[in-house]
Amino acid sequence: MRAVNWAVTALLTCLQAASSSHIPSADILPFNITRSTVEGDLNYISPIFPILPFHKYPQNPILTPNPANDWESAYVYNPAAIVLNETIFLLYRAQNASKTSSIGLAWSHDGYKFTRLNKPVLYATLPWEAGGGTEDPRIVRVNGTFYLTYTGYDLNTPRLCIATSEDLVHWTKFNPPFAGLGEYNPVAATSEGAGRDRLTSAPGGAIVTEQTSDGLYHMYFGDSVMYHATSTDLLNWTASSEPFATPMNPWENGLIEPGPAPIKTRDGRWLLIYNGMTTGEAGYRPTQYSVGQMLLDPSTSFQPSSHTDGEKYAHGNQGGSAQSPLFAADSDRPSPARDRPIARLETPFMVPSTPEEESGQVDLVVFAEGLVQFHGKWFLYYGQADATIGVAVADVQE
């Protein structure tokens, strides 16, 4: 998500500056990362859809702007996360006083207290990044290589971009994968009226780390509706022309955008945490960003005639089955590709509720892009009002 409101209270700015002094920084990483560095929690347990409940850390924010480093002196938010050698690493969006974005790196041995690297690891070097910078990272690792999707912003068009690395510090950038697509694709009329959605400039790429039986990798992306793309090498992608998922519930009726990379569930499907913005229906505050979950199966095209899923789930149904569907949802949405989510939560599991989330660079925002399992807990890292970083924690299901 790109910031659209630059107004921040002087009090919040002072509080952020004061809290940043408690977050240590360093010039080098705690250890060298190589292709053989162990990834993930040593006692990892696959989840059941949905993962609930998440509890916000009472001492949020866990990362704030650092006035000592110009590149991250104004705001830090929207982090990706990965576990390496029993250490959580965050790649986070940072902005300077001119609102130019870079991507910084921080690490923690407990998930709460972080040390930050003093220099950015990714910053604007290409024409499509000039002016706005590099934004909103999401990360996966496949066969020892890190794949980072991020937004390159030239103050005109936000573009989905990809970079690779073997050590989280040195990155190789590639051309935007969808640069050849049309600038806009039409969106079907909804209760809010007709609209249009960017496809060339649709960021937010969340990659599935396992290939399906046809040898394809899958990615879900978009910042108004979600599209589905496939690739054989994680660098060259072919996008579907039809949206994979569109806003459906009141809390997400303005737009939806993927969060962290999908994670595989115990039944072999994939759980995607995603972000949604509302226009203000059903008691939600206008332009409020919240966080939800949906269930995916990239290995099959969804066929309503042969599936009984495609339903919304209330928060009380955590078993991952269709025992208590509220009503059929995505299965009833026309799609020529028969390609859509299996299920999604009807209501968000996380909404803005603290001062840091309700007032900042953009008010009323929680925006999740980092999810890891660590020491028996799920750690969900998110941006607070496009200004600071918070974490919410859930127990790993037995």
pTM (predicted TM-score): 0.87
Among 57-66, 242-251, 257-266, the minimum mean pLDDT is found in 242-251
Tell me the average pLDDT across 85-114.
99
Kindly state the percentage of the chain with pLDDT values over 90: 75
Tell me the average pLDDT across 386-395.
99
pLDDT digits (tens, 9 = 90+) for 24-77: 999 999 999 999 999 999 999 999 999 999 999 999 999 999 999 999 999 999
SS3 readout for the chain: CCCCCCCCCHHHHHHHHHHHCCCCEECCCCCCCCCCCCECCCCCCCCCCCCCCCEECCCCCCECCCCCCHHHCCEEEEEEEEEECCEEEEEEEEECCCCCEEEEEEEECCCCCEEEECCCCECCCCHHHCCCEEEEEEEEEECCEEEEEEEEECCCCEEEEEEEECCCCCCEEECCCCCCCCCEEEEEEECCEEEEEECCCCCCCEEECCCCCCCCEEEEECCCCEEEEEECCCCCCEECCCCCECCCCHHHCCEEEECCCCEECCCCCEEEEEEEECCCHHHCCCCCEEEEEEEECCCCCCCCCCCCCCEEECCCCCCCCCCCEEEECHHHCCCCCCCCCCEEECCCCECCCCHHHHCCCCCCEEEEEEEEEECCEEEEEEEECCCEEEEEEEECCC
pLDDT digits (tens, 9 = 90+) for 109-167: 999 999 999 999 999 999 999 999 999 999 999 999 999 999 999 998 899 999 999 99
Q: Yes or no: is domain 10-395 CATH 3.40.50.150?
A: no
- Domain-by-domain residue ranges, the chain? 10-395
Whether residue 19 has pLDDT greater than 60: no
Per-residue pLDDT at 22: 76
Tell me the average pLDDT across 362-381.
99
Per-residue pLDDT at 313: 56
